[in-house]
Structure 1
Amino acid sequence: MTTLHLSHDAWIVVCDATKALFLRNAGDGRCPALRLVERMEAPDRGRTSDQGTDRPGRLQNRSAPASAIEQTDWHRRDKDDFAMQIAARLDLLCKERPIGSIFLVAPPGILGSLRRALSPLVSAVVVAEIDKDLTKHPVHEIERLLTAGT
Structure 2
Amino acid sequence: MLLSKGIWVVVADSEKALVLRNEGTGREPRLAFVRREEAPEVIVASDAPGRRADVGQGQRSAMEVPDYTRLNAETFMADLADDLARAQRRGAFDKLILVAPPQVLGALRDALSEGLAAHVVAEIDKTLTKHPLAEIGKIVASDIDAL
Return the TM-score normalized by structure 1. 0.85
1:79 is aligned, of 73, 76, 96, to: 73
Judged with a 3 Å threshold, the aligned counterparts in structure 2 of structure 1 residues 56 and 121 are, in CA distance, closer, same or farther, namely same
Task: Note if 1:35 corresponds to 2:32.
Answer: yes
Task: Note if 1:147 corresponds to 2:144.
Answer: no
Amino acid at match of 1:72: P
> How far apart in 1 are the matches of 2:40 and 2:92?
30
Structure 2 gap ranges (5+): none
Task: Note if 1:45 corresponds to 2:42.
Answer: yes
> How far apart in 2 are the matches of 1:56 and 1:108?
31
Amino acid at match of 1:32: P
Q: Which whole-Å deviations, capped at 9, do the CAs of 1:38-62 have from their partners, x for residues lacking one? A: 110112225xxx4335542325233
Amino acid at match of 1:42: A
Contact 2:77 2:107 in 1 (8 A): yes
Contact 1:59 1:69 in 2 (8 A): no
Amino acid at match of 1:139: L
Structure 1 gap ranges (5+): none
> How far apart in 2 are the matches of 1:59 and 1:80?
31
Give matches, 1:111-126, under 5 Å: 111-126=105-120
> How far apart in 1 are the matches of 2:10 and 2:45?
29
The range that moved more, 107-116 or 89-98, is 89-98
Contact 2:3 2:29 in 1 (8 A): yes
